[in-house]
Structure 1
Amino acid sequence: MANTNSAKKATRKIAARTEVNKARRSRMRSFIRKVEEAIASGDKSAAEAALKAAQPELQRAATKGVLHRNTASRKVSRLANRVNSIGA
């Protein structure tokens, strides 16, 4: 258990930051799921629109430290490849 005032404050800050990061991660996953559902349905225009909405969300997660930037780029790239392969 934290004893010093600074350690207690650090614990509070970590808890608050964890909540924010959980919300960001959940939001990001929701956007990814929408893209994957559109891909599964075979609707290319819906998949492209969902990807266009998901891309900034992934980059924002990377900027805020929820994801590593290379991970975000890889996810965007793989989703884009899957969207482009619809109907091909």
Structure 2
Amino acid sequence: MTLEQFTREEGQLARRYDYDDGTVFAVDFGSDVADASVDLVDDTVIVVVDDEQYEIELSDDVADAHTFIKNGVLTVELEEEL
């Protein structure tokens, strides 16, 4: 998963945080986002923001993933296999 997929629009803030047991991606689409949703299907994160759709394949070393979007901020938490 790469942050470049989310930073097409100028001013869009995206960050990656690496921890011992996993990684967290946070993407701020802005509080004015009218319609946003995120879903996890098998090893694919599907994000729909207004009329844009993003599909991100997770790597094989991800044991578990949690996704949510709130107030225009997408969070993807990835737990790596030990």
Query: Which has the greater radius of gyration?
Result: 1
Q: TM-score, normalised by structure 1?
A: 0.26
Name the structure with the higher helix share. 1
Q: TM-score, normalised by structure 2?
A: 0.27
Name the structure with the higher strand share. 2
